[in-house]
Amino acid sequence: MDAAWTPVGLTVAVLLGYEALLVLLPRRLAAARHAGLREEWLRVVSAQPGAELLAVQTLRNSLMSATLLASTAALALMGSVTLAAPSLKASLAASSGAPSPRLVLELVLLALLFASLASTLMAVRLYNHAGFIGGLPVGSPGRARWTEAGVGYVRRAGLLYGVGLRQLVLVVPVVAAMLLPTAGPVAALLVVAVLYSLDRFDADAAGT
């Protein structure tokens, strides 16, 4: 058995464990709180006449940020496909057909980049919809009719943007494991520790 399987397996297990933590404890982390902040923000600006320009500009900034992240993920994905193709061909050509540790890492890399691209593209789409709602005159029937839809758009867009950004950061330990398998688990633990410190919501600091 290839000695690289152990560190590779540990690297992937740490990444999967962190994703499971986010699924099990969503309301204890910052993402849920920030989603509530975005909802409240849109409701507040929807009640302030003359705030249409502020709303549109703020949503445009978020749209540009999500677009930049999607472009980065797309470029990285295309490069990774080129990188993984030779390993996949070699694995299929082998008599056993069993994947190598490097091929597994390359497939994990592709999955992370695809998830980042898909999430950020959906965030771009939702921020675009919210921008039209934010530009409607405050007090108009259209603004009143679409405000709650806009609240849902900005909430989901922010959550998807966070998912896309996180998947892009999780690429780091995978790349480290590809360069040196034993570095993978160490890099995964360090990255997950940093992400958790950022994702954890500090109620005392927020004043709640």
pLDDT digits (tens, 9 = 90+) for 132-188: 999 999 989 999 999 999 999 999 999 999 999 999 999 999 999 999 999 999 999
87 compared with 6, residue with greater pLDDT: 6
Residue 4 lies in a domain: no
For 200-205, what is the mean pLDDT?
57
Contact status, residue 23 vs residue 191, Cβ threshold 8 Å: no
What is the rounded CA–CA span in Å between residue 77 and residue 93?
24
What is the rounded CA–CA span in Å between residue 161 and residue 64?
11
Residue 185 lies in a domain: yes
Residue 3 lies in a domain: no
Q: What's the structural domain count of the chain?
A: 1
Which residues, including other chains, have CB under 8 Å from residue 39's CB and lie 6 or more apart?
151, 154, 155
Residue 207 lies in a domain: no
Residue 152 lies in a domain: yes
CA angle 186, 117, 34 (to 5 degrees): 75
Residue 2 lies in a domain: no
φ, ψ of residue 29 to 5 degrees: the values are -110, 165
Handedness of CA 98, 99, 101, 104 (dihedral sign): negative
Residue 118 lies in a domain: yes
Specify the pLDDT at position 137: 92
pTM recorded for the entire structure? 0.85
Output b/e per residue, 122-144; b: 16+ Cβ within 10 A. Answer: bbbbbbbbbbebbebebeeeebe
Q: Is the pLDDT of residue 194 over 70?
A: yes
Q: Is the pLDDT of residue 203 over 60?
A: no
The boundaries of the domain holding residue 110 are: 9-16+27-198
Specify the pLDDT at position 205: 44
Per residue in 61-104, pLDDT (tens digit) is 999 999 999 999 999 999 888 877 776 666 656 645 577 888 88
Strand spans (E) along 88-186: none
Residue 45 lies in a domain: yes
Place 201 in a pLDDT band, splitting at 50, 70 and 90.
low
